């Protein structure tokens, strides 16, 4: 039988990134937590598929083009 227990992980995000994920989650009818889990699952699936999602410089933050979308009130 599969182990379906989930681990709790404290996570700190910038306000800008959190707002972008929250807006995306709302568009996809998910909670923020559900959206983060979905995105991480997709990244792991892609990594297993071709091994090419990891940038060469892991310690550099990604450049996010999220300034054009305003957070919802």
**2-57: pLDDT as tens digits:** 668 989 999 999 999 999 999 999 999 999 999 999 999 888 887 777 766 555 55
Determine contact, residues 11/59, Cβ cutoff 8 Å. no
CA pair distance 47, 39, nearest whole angstrom: 12
pLDDT at 50: 72
CA-closest candidate to residue 28, choices 9, 42, 10: 42
Domain definitions of the chain by residue range: 15-50
pLDDT band for position 70 (cuts 50, 70, 90): low
Q: Is the whole-model pTM more than 0.85?
A: no
């Amino acid at each position: 039988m599969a182990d379906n227990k989930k681990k709790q992980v404290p996570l700190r995000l910038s306000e800008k990134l959190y707002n972008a994920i929250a807006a995306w989650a709302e568009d996809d009818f998910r909670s923020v937590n559900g959206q983060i889990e979905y995105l991480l699952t997709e990244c792991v699936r892609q990594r297993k598929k071709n091994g090419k999602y990891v940038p060469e410089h892991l310690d550099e933050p990604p450049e996010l083009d999220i300034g054009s979308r305003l957070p919802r009130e």
